[in-house]
Structure 1
Amino acid sequence: MESMNVTVAERRQLTGQICEFTLAPVDGVKLPTFTAGAHITVETPSGAMRRYSLVNDGSDPEVYKIALKREEDGRGGSKSMHDDAVEGTELRIEAPENSFELTEANEYLLIAGGIGVTPIYAMSQQLLREDKPFKVIYCTRSEPDTAFLEEMKSTLGDRLTLHHDNGDPDEVYDFWDHFEEPKNIKVYCCGPQPLLEEIEAIAGHWPEGRVIFEDFKPVDAVRPDDTPFEVKLEKSGVTVHVPEDRSILEAIRDSGIATMSSCESGTCGTCKCRLVSGEVDHRDMVLMDEEKGDHIMICVSRAKQGDLVLDL
């Protein structure tokens, strides 16, 4: 996968917790084009690899723009971006990929929840440029929590429905009227897991392929019932303690040992390691069944019981 270096050319605070970063290429390198819904993988200042949706026009980009929320309960990637990716900071990124691309339809319904607005905002602007019929439903906790609020109100007009639930489960948006009868449209949805699950449930009677979801967290690398364990790195002769709230990859990185990684969500295969011994709780979406006896994806998988020995 192609990687390149960029610098943080500008930061713009969109809400109290969401910041937009403008990334400019180093040494005038030509940035690859992209379509709405695309993301880039960023090596954050902490070393963590994280995927962020691109929000600007990708037809001939001079810069890449991403917006991300500071996740206080996350595993450090977003916090390091907010705290340490100041203007002038150089970052390594991978070329855009798009698994959430707009495909041909008579009409579109775009649904965003919270920071899930980033690809939806880019899609709305692309559909505007292409003069295609669409509507947007954008749900947030409150107006101050709503990123791109003024841009979307001014460009989308009556195509935009805004809803604030004030953090009250009784005030969440009722989507049923939009899904009661299957329509000849395509729905694109991005947001927190409860929103995705709700849309998936109420759209179960729609034809397959009409409702498309974006979710950067297909695998939970850390779960509430996880326990600590040890990993011995056979080649390095080092034993690393893996706490209950860190992945093997993060623990190895925290110990100062460099490892290869990309998606850090169990979907790309970059961090595959040979397993020397131990019983693995496989959580990735990549390994074939015949590989699971002697390989492990260290970004998400853990010891099922006891400790592990890896060929690192």
Structure 2
Amino acid sequence: MDDLKMRVVSRRALTEHICEFTLRPVEDVTLPTFEPGAHVTIETPSGAMRRYSLINDGAAPTEYRIAIKREAESRGGSASMHDDAPDGTVLRVEAPENSFPLEEAKEYLLIAGGIGVTPIYAMAQHLKREDKPFNVVYCTRTRADTAFIDDMEAAFGDKLLVHHDDGDPDQAYDFWDHFEEPRDMRVYCCGPQPLIDEIKAVSGHWPEGRVNFEDFKPVDVVREDDTAFEVTLKKTGTTVTVPEDRSILEALRDAGVTTTSSCESGTCGTCKTRLISGDPDHRDMVLRDDEQEDHIMICVSRAKEGGLVLDL
């Protein structure tokens, strides 16, 4: 299906930094259905492509609902949505995809950390509709930082356990009781890396496939020790400087160069570009070893030393 033109029809502040967006199609079209755990890729007002988990029921949707946290070091995605997408804004939205599917099981444990609650909330709502046994553990800093807290407490009652650590690692939730003995259930976890690392550590003795993760920040696009470098576009002879805090794709976009992209996180392969020369620093999760010599994913990868020449 072609990309959709969708309009922001409402916004709801969930916390100081998290906003829920409801999107409906501009034209009279039937929206693609989706399963719990699915996401959509949205072209934000800044031009950046970003993936956001869908919250609502996907069986026969008339709208898509997402929740976006304004990241402190946003490079154009979340800040753009918060600042430049008021009611009435029309956005380009790709059809839903699902890399975090909810599989059949006897029972479920759903674990969320921070804004990672979005796919977990969708899964919990689905399991409640299906009358399946489940429990949710939702970890945040404080109640004020906890998106959907009132909705989830009302919907899930004693199936929901909410834990606040006040930003103190010593007050982190102890998951060991949930994982000490492997059980015939599936676990789904989405949240920041420390939470994912903790669940992987305490579930290492569980059978493969029982514990599932979605890391919503799979690649560090910009790192502290990154430096600026130049990219030359072979077809036009144009040279663009890539600053230390921007990706190649973002620098090209800033310079007015049209490129094709989707995930902008090194996982989908849409921005695959032929590399003519240079010493690349590959950071993607897509290229095979035999492709790395003459291709690069410009959404995340950089130059190790010197510049790069691209077939653009």
After superposition, the C-alpha distances for 1:262-301 in whole angstroms (9 at most, x for unaligned) are 0111111111111111111111111122221111110011
- Report the residue type matching 1:246 in the other structure: R
Contact 2:11 2:19 in 1 (8 A): yes
Corresponding letter in the other structure for 1:120: I
Could you report, residue by residue, the CA deviation over 1:216-258 in whole angstroms, capped at 9, with x for unpaired residues? 2222211111111000111122111111111100110011111
Residue matched to 2:84: 84
Q: Distance in 2 between matches of 1:44 and 1:252?
A: 16
| Equivalent residue number for residue 168 of structure 1 | 168
Structure 1 pair 200–2 and aligned structure 2 pair: CA distance change class (3 A): farther
Structure-2 separation of matches of 1:168 and 1:238: 49
Matched ranges for 1:38-117 at <5 A: 38-117=38-117
What residue identity is the alignment partner of 1:224?
Answer: E
Instruction: State the alpha-carbon separation in 2 of the partners of residues 218 and 150 from structure 1.
Output: 29
Equivalenced residue count is 312
Task: Name the structure 1 match of 2:148.
Answer: 148
Indicate the RMSD between aligned Cα atoms, in angstroms. Answer: 0.9
Looking at structure 2, the residues matched to 71 and 28 of structure 1 have their Cα atoms a distance apart, in angstroms, of 34
Tell me which amino acid in the other structure corresponds to 1:133: P
Structure 1: state its 5+ residue gaps. Answer: none
- TM (normalized to structure 1)? 0.98
In 1, the alpha carbon distance for the partners of 2:196 and 2:290 equals 32
Tell me which residue corresponds to 2:185.
185
The letter for the 2-side match of 1:251 is A
Partner of 2:246: 246
Q: How does the TM-score come out when normalised to structure 2?
A: 0.98
Where does 1:118-133 land on structure 2 (aligned, <5 Å)? 118-133=118-133
Q: 1:159 and 2:159 equivalent?
A: yes
Alpha-carbon distance between aligned partners in 2 of 1:127 and 1:27, rounded to the nearest angstrom: 32
1:310 aligns with 2:310: yes
CA distance in 2, matches of 1:285, 1:154: 39
Q: Match of 2:183, as an amino acid?
A: K
Match of 2:131, as an amino acid? D
Instruction: Please give the alpha-carbon distance, in whole angstroms, between the structure 2 residues aligned to 1:3 and 1:213.
Output: 27
Q: Distance in 2 between matches of 1:149 and 1:291?
A: 46
Q: Is 1:277–2:277 an aligned residue pair?
A: yes
* Equivalent residue letter for 1:236: T
Question: For the residues of structure 2 that align with 1:72 and 1:220, how far apart are their CA atoms?
Answer: 15
Distance in 1 (CA, whole Å) between partners of 2:216 and 2:146 is 20
Task: Give the letter aligned to residue 224 of structure 2.
Answer: P
1: distance between equivalents of 2:271 and 2:166?
A: 40
* Aligned counterpart, 2:202: 202
- In the other structure, the counterpart of 1:211 is 211
Q: Give the letter for the 1:87 counterpart.
A: D
SS of equivalent residue, structure 1 residue 5: strand
* Contiguous gaps of at least 5 residues in structure 2: none
Check if 1:27 corresponds to 2:27. Answer: yes
Cα drift, residue 147 of structure 1: 0.6
Distance 2:275 2:99 in 1: 30
Paired amino acid for 1:95: A
Measure the CA separation in 2 of the matches of 1:250 and 1:176: 42
What SS does structure 2 have at the residue aligned with 1:240? strand
Counterparts of 1:146 and 1:32, CA distance in 2: 30
Give the ranges of 4+ consecutive aligned residues of structure 1 lying more than 4 Å apart after TM superposition: none
The alignment status of 1:235 with 2:239, answered yes or no, reads no
For residues 207 and 57 of structure 1, the distance between their equivalents in structure 2, rounded to whole angstroms, comes to 30
Distance 1:174 1:151 in 2: 25
Distance 1:75 1:193 in 2: 20
After superposition, where does 1:255-266 map in structure 2 within 5 Å? 255-266=255-266
Q: How big is each residue's C-alpha offset from its partner over 1:94-145, in whole Å with a ceiling of 9 and x where there is no partner?
A: 1001111111111000000000000011110000000000000001111111
Contact 2:111 2:189 in 1 (8 A): yes
Report the CA distance between 1:74 and its aligned residue: 2.5
Q: Secondary structure at the match of 1:157?
A: helix
Deviates more, 1:276-285 or 1:51-60: 276-285
Does residue 302 of structure 2 align to residue 289 of structure 1?
A: no
- Cα distance in 2, alignment partners of residues 80 and 15 from structure 1: 17
Say which SS state the counterpart of residue 196 (structure 2) adopts. helix
